[in-house]
């Protein structure tokens, strides 16, 4: 009988607890399931948006490479609508490249400056700065180009940055500093697979020697 009363007491206790806490339990369960569903929905939407952006990027690049009349405007429209993700940045880089190939350095400058200002990934920054400096050089913005190159701190880009710096200094008529920049590029491994760098350095050495003979 004691066992029976104990079971009855347990049942009554459960009933009383449910009266006091049942609503909260149901509410918590609903919230928990709702949160789980919301998280899954968010992830599914994010994946779907990424897939759509990827497809749109592929289409935009195909149009740009085809060189149709509206290629630049359609690519710009894609960039504007994807300004907050990597696809927009990659499209702007590609548009800048096409602009350079066409000799439209102003367009290339605006695209690279936009990527730099609105960069999505730090990984892109050295590449952007290097290309931006080259475009600034083409536009004879030498001081700006040197300042841009000075922002490149990644050792993997040091050789290219020093070579570009040498090119600018040479255009400014400063052969001595240009030679030092080329030497720094060689020391950073820039002459590996790049015979043009060694030729630039050798030409400067010959020019310097000739000047010394003439002026000596």
SS3 119: coil
For 135-148, the pLDDT digits (tens) are: 999 999 999 999 99
| 216 lies in some domain | no
Please answer whether residues 129 and 116 qualify as being in contact, where contact means their C-beta atoms are separated by less than 8 angstroms.
Answer: yes
What pLDDT score does 2 carry?
Answer: 43
In this structure, what CATH number is given to the domain that contains residue 98? 1.25.40.10
Q: Tokens 């030409």 — which residue?
A: 203
Residue 118 lies in a domain: yes
Q: Strands, E, within the chain: which ranges? A: none
Question: CA neighbours within 13 Å on the CB side: how many for 139?
Answer: 19
* 165 inside domain: no
State pTM to two decimals: 0.72
Q: Which residues of the chain have pLDDT under 50?
A: 1-4, 27, 30-31, 39, 41-44, 209-210, 212-215
Residue 188 inside a domain? The answer is: no
Q: Does residue 146 lie in a domain region? A: yes
Number of domains into which the chain is organized: 1
Calculate the dihedral angle through the C-alpha atoms of 108, 113, 116, 118, rounding to the nearest 10 degrees.
-110
Cβ atoms of 105 and 139 closer than 8 Å = yes
46 lies in some domain: yes
Asked whether residue 160 is domain-assigned, the answer is no
Structural domain span for residue 104:
2-153
20 part of a folded domain: yes
Q: Are 59 and 77 in contact (CB under 8 A)?
A: no
């Amino acid at each position: 009988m004691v066992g029976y009363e104990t079971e009855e007491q347990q049942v009554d206790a459960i009933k009383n607890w449910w009266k006091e806490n049942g609503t909260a339990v149901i509410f918590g369960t609903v919230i928990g399931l709702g949160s789980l569903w919301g998280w899954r929905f968010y992830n599914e939407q994010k994946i779907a948006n990424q897939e759509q952006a990827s497809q749109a990027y592929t289409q935009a690049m195909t149009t740009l490479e085809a060189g149709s009349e509206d290629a630049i405007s359609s690519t710009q429209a894609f960039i504007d609508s994807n300004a907050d993700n990597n696809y927009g940045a990659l499209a702007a880089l590609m548009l800048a490249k096409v602009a350079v190939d066409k000799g439209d350095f102003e367009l290339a400058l605006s695209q690279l400056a936009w990527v730099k200002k609105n960069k999505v990934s730090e990984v892109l920054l050295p590449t952007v700065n290097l290309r931006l400096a080259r475009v600034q050089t083409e536009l004879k913005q030498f001081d700006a180009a040197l300042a841009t190159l000075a922002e490149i701190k990644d050792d993997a880009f040091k050789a290219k940055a020093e070579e570009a710096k040498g090119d600018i200094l040479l255009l400014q008529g400063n052969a001595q500093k240009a030679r030092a920049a080329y030497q720094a590029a060689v020391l950073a491994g820039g002459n590996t697979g790049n015979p043009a760098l060694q030729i630039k350095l050798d030409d400067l050495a010959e020019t310097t020697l000739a000047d010394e003979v003439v002026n000596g």
